[in-house]
Amino acid sequence: MDIAALLASEWAQLALYAVAGFVLLNVMLGIVTFLVLMERKVSGWMQVRLGPMEIGPWGILVTVADAIKLMTKQDVVPRHVDRFVFRLAPALIALPPLIAVSLVPFGKNLIFADTSVALLLVLALTSLTSMAILMAGWGSNNKYSLLGGVRSAAQDLSYEVALIFAALGPVMLAGSLSLQDIVKAQGGVWFVFLQPLGFILFLIAGIAELNRTPFDIPEAESEIVAGYHTEYSGMRFALFFMAEYANMFLVSCIVATLFLGGWQGPVLPGVLWFVLKVFAVIFVIMWVRWTFPRFRVDQLMTFGWKVLVPLGLLNILLTGGVMLLV
């Protein structure tokens, strides 16, 4: 058997991709674990208290303890749920962020799948999340869950429009939908300085897509029990939980890629810059969560359609106008 031919063959390529995919999956799970801890610690410090401190030194093993706890809980499937939909929803919500992370450029040559329509794919995958929430709300056979699910669906699709308009700015500036090309086009100046309005719009719409405070009406504890994931316990709930943090990581990656220059940066290696930017954005998202009260449903819809969408259109108009003149 010719070793060189074997290594260059298609089987080797596939195997390599499989191993890389496995590594990416595990890295994502590790990041989600860290993010849960980060949220609890940051929220604690912002409330003048320490977060978890007892489990592991300085509380670092808290997410592990949480995961073990959730895995050992009884899996309750209520009797009159729509069984297929109920069971499919947690799996469907956890997958899109894990898939979409493979499209994000982590470094100059560090991208899992460099397609020419990467941004479009990422936005399409985030739409899958809203569908999964609707499935969870409907499948739970519970009026509060249904309310949470449909409110979330309405919110997600409204802010999706605003998100896309805000994302069009960098696309126009870079001339391509490929995320790697957009990062490469920010070699001179990051797009956040050329598109401040777009940056703010994308960040706000992104937080709304994540169903995080102040846009967390679908899952707000004091309003609607736990909204669309009321009926889920144990590992199913853990999947919802994990999906929220994976989505947060994904949205932060896209913000860093589109506006903050991705892996561009002077002295340090690209990956390090990328990680710094992503975690800065994640910190800002958490900071916003622990500062503001939540929107009422009608305020939320008004804000999405009557404020963000016109501003998004204005952003596109201004960008196009300036590009034409300059």
Partner 1 sequence: MLLLRIRSLALSAYLLGDGMAVTLRYMFTKPVTLQYPHEMKRLPERTRGTLVLYADIERMKCKCTVCLVCEVVCPNNSIHIDFERDTVNKKKVLTKYYWDADKCIYCGLCVEGCGFDSLGWVPEFEISTTDRRKLVWDEKDMMQAWLTSIGRKDIDAKRVDNKWY
Nearer to partner 1, 84 or 283 (CB): 283
What is the rounded CA–CA span in Å between residue 311 and residue 114? 31
Q: Which of these ranges, 15-23, 156-164, 249-257, 284-292, lies near partner 1 under the rule CB under 8 A?
A: 284-292
Which of residues 1, 3, 4, 48 is near partner 1 by CB under 8 A? 48
CB of 295 to partner 1, least distance (A): 13
- E runs forming strands in the chain: none
Nearer to partner 1, 11 or 292 (CB): 292
Q: Is 50 in the site for partner 1 (CB under 8 A)?
A: yes
Which of residues 29, 95, 235, 288 is near partner 1 by CB under 8 A? 288
- Determine contact, residues 322/196, Cβ cutoff 8 Å: no
Sign (positive or negative) of CA dihedral 273, 39, 242, 60: positive
User: N- to C-terminal Cα distance for the chain?
Assistant: 60
Nearer to partner 1, 46 or 271 (CB): 46
Q: Is 290 in the site for partner 1 (CB under 8 A)?
A: yes
Q: Is 42 in the site for partner 1 (CB under 8 A)?
A: yes
What is the rounded CA–CA span in Å between residue 259 and residue 159? 18
Nearer to partner 1, 41 or 277 (CB): 41
Nearer to partner 1, 27 or 46 (CB): 46
What is the rounded CA–CA span in Å between residue 289 and residue 207? 9
What is the rounded CA–CA span in Å between residue 203 and residue 310? 16
What burial letters (b/e) apply to 306-323, b meaning 16+ CB within 10 Å?
Answer: eebbebbeebbeebeeee
Q: Which of these ranges, 6-14, 37-45, 95-103, 249-257, lies near partner 1 under the rule CB under 8 A?
A: 37-45
- Determine contact, residues 236/158, Cβ cutoff 8 Å: no
CB of 284 to partner 1, least distance (A): 9
Q: How far is CA 228 from CA 13, 32, 84, 140, in A?
A: 41, 21, 16, 8
Q: Is 49 in the site for partner 1 (CB under 8 A)?
A: yes
Task: Retrieve residue 279's tokens.
Answer: 């975690």
What region, left, alpha or beta, does residue 264 occupy, with left being phi > 0 and alpha being psi -120 to 50 degrees? Answer: beta
The distance from CA 248 to its chain's CA centroid, rounded to whole angstroms, is 3
Nearer to partner 1, 48 or 324 (CB): 48
CB of 11 to partner 1, least distance (A): 52
CB of 302 to partner 1, least distance (A): 14
Q: Is 47 in the site for partner 1 (CB under 8 A)?
A: yes
Q: Is 172 in the site for partner 1 (CB under 8 A)?
A: no
Q: Is 23 in the site for partner 1 (CB under 8 A)?
A: no
Q: Is 291 in the site for partner 1 (CB under 8 A)?
A: yes
The residues binding partner 1 (CB under 8 A) are 42, 44-50, 53, 287-288, 290-292
